[in-house]
Structure 1
Amino acid sequence: MTDNRRSIYNPIQKDTVVFLKTAAETNGQYTLVEVELADGGGVGLHYHKTYSEKFNCIEGEVQVALGKNMYQLKPGQQALAEPNVNHLFRNRSGKPCKFRVELRPASRGFEQSLQIGYGLASDGLTNKKGFPKDKLALAWLFDISESNLPGWMSIFEFILRKQAKKARSKGIDKTLIEKYVRF
């Protein structure tokens, strides 16, 4: 049975994330979420410097790219994106899929960024691709999720990090946490 207090839904991306274990519950060891991803959904190419992401398929099929290799995971199969490895995940199977993602070590910023991003989408405060309309909020969410852009796109990171700092100075971070972070 799903604990609805720990389940978030994104009406733009049409996916659900259930927080199974948070940083607080694992003493910072790991974050564990279960994702039900609609066909056509996913997250584009990125990487993290401070944590790994392990993808474990439960139902359906999920594609995971690690570096230049694309893997089609079926139930019971997994893939590991180590720190500094470009990766993405997506569903192109024609039906929903379900998988778990484990971050090691845990990332409280990742946990908060999902809750806030999905909350903004539910409140109609994102564009049709699911990105926050408020550019300072977008930059701050990018920053706290510890995401990084690969290749030539990395030139935008300096601007995003600077805008994230501006968001903090204006108190946007505190406002978003207060409104959307439930656990």
Structure 2
Amino acid sequence: MPPLSHPPNSRKITNPVLKDEVVFIETSQESNGRHSLVEVLLSPGGGNPLHYHREFAEEFVCLEGELSVQLDKEIIRLKVGESATVPVHRLHRFFNQSAEPCRFECRITPGFPGFEQFLQIVYGLAHDGQVNRQAMPKNPFALGYVILISGTYMSGLMAALQPALTWLGRQAVKRGIGSTLQQRYVSIE
């Protein structure tokens, strides 16, 4: 088995496909469940698709450059020091529409270990060449598993796939795939 994609005690993970990095500032366990706090370096053109969360809110604070946050149909362009909060059940995405990288903090309240594990697994799979060009796991059971644990619900066409992805995630748990992914990639708790 090849070595871990990131050193076991490192708090920084990188995604070679997206050319992004995440630093874990404070995990849910470290904050006694109050929040999960990460700092993200997002490449120009980087971001994620529209989605929502049922169990946690997100706050984005721009630290460097410019971060765009879409809330439903509204796009908010955050400059250094500005923030936006996304309540539970609110359709949103973040992205970098500038030509320069941006750096921002993302605070998830309450803390959500599954989201922290999702990041580590997907970034680890990216290092191992096991993701597509959108940095999503190629293996359908791995994809289902990370969607299952992340607390993320998709919108649009992807929302129609959510039940199938949830089923694949549950199958990944039953077959031990989830446990293997956890053991291989999750080192920050």
TM-score for the superposition, normalised by structure 1 = 0.96
Q: CA deviation at 1:152?
A: 5.0
Three-state SS of the structure 1 residue aligned to 2:53 is coil
| Matched residues, number | 180
Instruction: Measure, in 2, the Cα distance between the counterparts of 1:137 and 1:100.
Output: 27
Q: CA deviation at 1:57?
A: 0.2
Three-state SS of the structure 1 residue aligned to 2:183 is helix
Q: 1:110 aligns with which of 112, 115, 118?
A: 115
Instruction: Measure, in 1, the Cα distance between the counterparts of 2:75 and 2:21.
Output: 23
Residue 41 of structure 2: aligned partner: 36
Kindly report the root-mean-square deviation, in angstroms, between the aligned alpha carbons of the 2 structures: 1.0
Instruction: Tell me if 1:93 matches 2:98.
Output: yes
Instruction: Tell me if 1:47 matches 2:73.
Output: no
Q: CA deviation at 1:150?
A: 2.1
Q: CA deviation at 1:143?
A: 1.0
27-36 or 145-154, which deviates more: 145-154
Residue 140 of structure 1: aligned partner: 145
Instruction: Measure, in 2, the Cα distance between the counterparts of 1:150 and 1:113.
Output: 19
Unmatched tracts of structure 1, length 5 or more: none
Instruction: Tell me if 1:167 matches 2:166.
Output: no
Q: CA deviation at 1:151?
A: 4.3
CA deviation digits over 1:32-68, x for unaligned, max 9?
0000000010011000000000000000001000111
Q: 1:150 aligns with which of 155, 168, 177?
A: 155
Q: 1:84 aligns with which of 85, 89, 97?
A: 89
CA deviation digits over 1:113-148, x for unaligned, max 9?
000100000111111211111111001101100100
**In structure 2, what residue type is equivalent to 1:8?**
I
Three-state SS of the structure 2 residue aligned to 1:8 is strand
Identical columns (%): 43
CA deviation digits over 1:66-120, x for unaligned, max 9?
1111000000100011000000000011010000000000000000000010000
Instruction: Measure, in 1, the Cα distance between the counterparts of 2:120 and 2:187.
Output: 8
Three-state SS of the structure 2 residue aligned to 1:148 is strand
Unmatched tracts of structure 2, length 5 or more: 1-8
Instruction: Measure, in 2, the Cα distance between the counterparts of 1:163 and 1:36.
Output: 31
Q: 2:182 aligns with which of 154, 170, 177?
A: 177
